[in-house]
Amino acid sequence: MQLAAAAARAEVLRREIERHNHAYYVLDRPTVPDAEYDRLFRELQVIEEEHPPLRTADSPTLRVGGRPLAMFAPVRHAVPMLSIRTETDTEPAGARAFDARVRRELGLADAEAPVEYAAELKFDGLAINLRYEHGLLVQAATRGDGETGEDVTQNIRTVHSIPLRLAGNPPPLLEVRGEAYMSRPDFERYNERQRALGKAGLVNPRNGAAGSIRQLDPAMAAERPLSFYAYGLGASEGWTLPSTHSGVLAALAAFGLPVCEHRAVAQGAEGLIAFHARMRALRDSLPFDIDGVVYKVNSLALQQQLGFVTREPRWAVAHKYPAEEMLTTVEAIEVQVGRTGAITPVARLAPVFVGGVTVTNATLHNEIEARRKDVRVGDTVVVRRAGDVIPEVVSVVIERRPKRDLLGDEPLHPAFELPKLCPVCGSAIERPEDEAIARCSGGLICPAQRKQALLHFAGRRAMDIEGLGDKLVEQLVDNAIVKTPADLYKLGLLAMANLERMAEKSAANLLAAIGKSKSTTLARFIFALGIRNVGEATAKDLARFFGGLDALMAADSDRLQQVPDVGPVVAASIARFFAEPHNVEVIEQLRAAGVHWVEGEPAAVVSSAISGKTFVLTGTLPTLTRDEAKDMIEAQGGKVAGSVSKKTDYVVAGAEAGSKLEKAQALGVAILDEVQFRELMKT
């Protein structure tokens, strides 16, 4: 490619890639599939490799990281990055106190109009100053001590939401202040990827953000997914400032900088209180951490009039929420058995007030997490509780760990070990090598799983026992009337009629439904057993392949893997289930109670244009229910998935289809309405 043509093409690619970056990382509205983005990026990389002078300072290829640094160079801030005062009173009185101080400093009488404020979120990340000259990002620095920070330009270039060149008509010099942060979903994905590689994860999103920005190797920083929100200005030249802080934020957004949508212009103390309460209610649903909100006098002229005191602006304050992390000690570690048999280690704690409540228990999630964090009895731990989220142990303060000997290093208490047997029913606890969660294998007899097992067994797409819902199952289990699914077929009218809110007619209807369910299909029965990793489609595949229950129960893992789409994980789940004597006993009791289906030879695999195709159903179809559409697909050998991916063949979309439809459009997946779907089903 000639140099002139290469330069022109490179310029087009840079603009196109940054447009897609802005749409994806700032607007959260992807404009092209990942494959198309990757193609454009690779094309630009090739041009720059062949013609190095064409690599500009705003090239998107700089986002992959540069050469490692020996150290960070100091940066003297043109305008100091000062901290703001924190209002520790987390109640409405905190906002009223700030408003009263502002009014007093401005000499406003009680009868005069309320002060107008800009209210924003207080992000829990790392403060950054971005310096743009003639619209081009030339430097990024940390806050440091407020006067001098560290040059982290290479690392900041890896943050895709930060524009390398500003949009519109920016001034000759513009310094933008904001927060680099790591979102919770990105934090979880990064840690999950690290664990899969056998590497240590990050302690929390804030540490993840700070540690990423201060990586001497930009390539490592590029591996960590960071985001950014702008919230203010440093130095600027050649620009007529808006008259308000809210106007400044709007102008920054117009330049292509990410500005958080959760901000407001509030009137007086009551407006601040309303914003504080609204954001507190929203806090747990945000994809990033905040520890409060920030109030700023909106008028820049009034800000200048109020000035500073001891290096803090009089015109701004951070109004915090109750602390979500506190220290306490572990008194014991026990395991709980969930409704699905999941085994969860739980730390019993010395009571601590965190997140607005007194916490005495905290989840350790699973055996892998408990061992990774190395939580032991006697440890001092950081406990986190965010809103209604179950409290969790975040990390251990190793320096405070009790030792056997004052002069030695040996810990007083051993590392956590998962028990071999379920503490509730005594069945074996098993954890496949490729799964994080251990489970009790006594699915049909374990009291902890009893209610869930019965509800699943009676479900409409399983044994279809109409009238057996949550409340009735709770009564049957709590009164020890039903312990296993086989006990349902022993129920009598008298026992049922004596239950709360169960009239004789209702009891008779339920008993009739139970009797009717005795005649079923093998696929429904297999699905009703609740075998781990065996859904409806797999149950149908198993029924077609084996033709009878005895052949299925006798199959080993190798034989099971001959069934279409049954891999090692699913095969192991099935084999473990039928190897548990308790489960086999319940199955024999069900047979003895009269539950039956037509045994026969394996059915022929359906051969049609739909066979083997993957569908995703979304939205509300005009005449078909989702279950009816699913039955039509499976009857012709197709499969129904819950999410859209590159492997999806068709998305059937009805009214209010939502994000699945948008993803299908982005990936170029074929989209059908109900009429088109019915036509396809005829082929």
Indicate the Cα dihedral angle 109, 114, 116, 119, nearest 10°.
Answer: 110
**Cα–Cα distance between 197 and 189 in angstroms, integer?**
13
* Better-predicted residue by pLDDT, 63 or 365: 365
Residue 38 pLDDT exceeds 80: no
Question: Rounded to 5 degrees, what are φ and ψ at 383?
Answer: -110, 135
Dist CA 511 CA 513 (whole Å): 5
Superfamily of domain 85-320: DNA ligase/mRNA capping enzyme (3.30.470.30)
Which of these CATH numbers, 3.90.76.10, 3.40.50.10190, 3.40.190.10, 3.40.50.300, describes 614-682? 3.40.50.10190
Among 20-24, 25-29, 547-551, where is mean pLDDT lowest?
Answer: 25-29
Beta strands at 308-309 and 85-87: parallel, antiparallel or unpaired: unpaired
* Arithmetic mean of pLDDT, 357-371: 87
Min mean pLDDT across 270-279, 313-322, 431-440, 672-681 is at 431-440
Give the DSSP H/E element, type plus range, for residue 293: strand 290-297
Which helix (DSSP H) or strand (DSSP E) does residue 250 occupy? helix 245-254
Where residue 399 falls among pLDDT bands split at 50, 70, 90?
confident
Q: Taking a C-beta distance cutoff of 8 angstroms, is the pair 128, 179 a contact?
A: yes
Beta carbons within 8 Å of 621's beta carbon, 6+ residues apart: 629, 652, 654, 674, 677
The gap from C-alpha 673 to its chain's centroid, in whole angstroms, comes to: 30
For domain 447-592, the question of CATH label 1.10.150.130 is answered with no
Under the banding of pLDDT at 50, 70 and 90, the label for residue 191 is: confident
Q: Is the pLDDT of residue 162 over 80?
A: yes
Whether residue 322 is predicted with pLDDT greater than 80 in this model: the reply is no
Task: Please name which of 124, 4, 137, 150 lies closest in space to residue 69, comparing C-alpha atoms.
Answer: 150
pLDDT at 28 over 70: no
Superfamily per CATH, domain 3-64? Helix hairpin bin (1.10.287.610)
Comparing CA positions, the residue from 235, 365, 225, 333 lying closest to residue 287 is 225
Gap between the Cα atoms of 667 and 37, Å rounded: 12
**In this model, does residue 603 exceed pLDDT 60?**
no
H/E stretch holding 527: helix 522-528
pLDDT at 57: 79
Confidence of residue 35 (pLDDT cuts 50, 70, 90): confident
Sequence length of the chain is 683
Instruction: Name the helix (H) or strand (E) containing 579.
Output: helix 568-579
For 325-435, CATH number? 2.40.50.140
pLDDT-based confidence at residue 70 (cuts at 50, 70, 90): low
Is 122 catalytic? The answer is yes
**Predicted local distance difference test score (pLDDT) of residue 600:** 60
DSSP characters over 30-60: --S-HHHHHHHHHHHHHHHHH-GGG--TT-G
**Would you state the structure tokens that stand for residue 558, as one six-digit string?**
């190798």
What φ, ψ does residue 538 adopt, rounded to 5°? -65, -40
Q: Distance between alpha carbon 174 and the CA centroid of its chain, in Å?
A: 35
Q: Distance (Å, rounded) from C-alpha 236 to C-alpha 79? A: 10
Q: What integer best gives the mean pLDDT of the chain?
A: 87
Torsion from C-alpha of 276, 280, 281, 282, nearest 10 degrees: 100
CA distances from 306 to 49, 104, 560 (A): 54, 10, 76
- CB under 8 Å, gap of 24 or more: what pairs does 38-42 form? 40/13, 40/16, 41/17
Domain parsing of the chain, residue ranges: 3-64, 85-320, 325-435, 447-592, 614-682
Q: How confident is residue 652, by pLDDT bands cut at 50, 70 and 90? A: very high
| Helix ranges (DSSP H) in 358-444 | 367-373
For 86, counting Cβ atoms within 10 Å of its Cβ (0-12 exposed, 13-18 middle, 19+ buried), the class is middle
Check 122, 320, 639, 663 and give the catalytic one. 122
Question: In the predicted model, is pLDDT for residue 586 greater than 60?
Answer: yes
Note whether 480 and 567 are within 8 A (CB). Answer: no
Q: Is pLDDT larger for residue 71 or for residue 647?
A: 647
- CA 88/CA 322 separation, integer angstroms: 9
State the pLDDT at residue 176: 97
How many other CB atoms sit within 10 Å of the CB of residue 564? 13
DSSP output for 57-84: TT-GGGGG--PPPSSPPEEE-SS-----
Mean pLDDT over 199-209 rounds to: 76
**Considering only CA atoms, which of 182, 170, 318, 186 is closest in space to residue 253?**
170
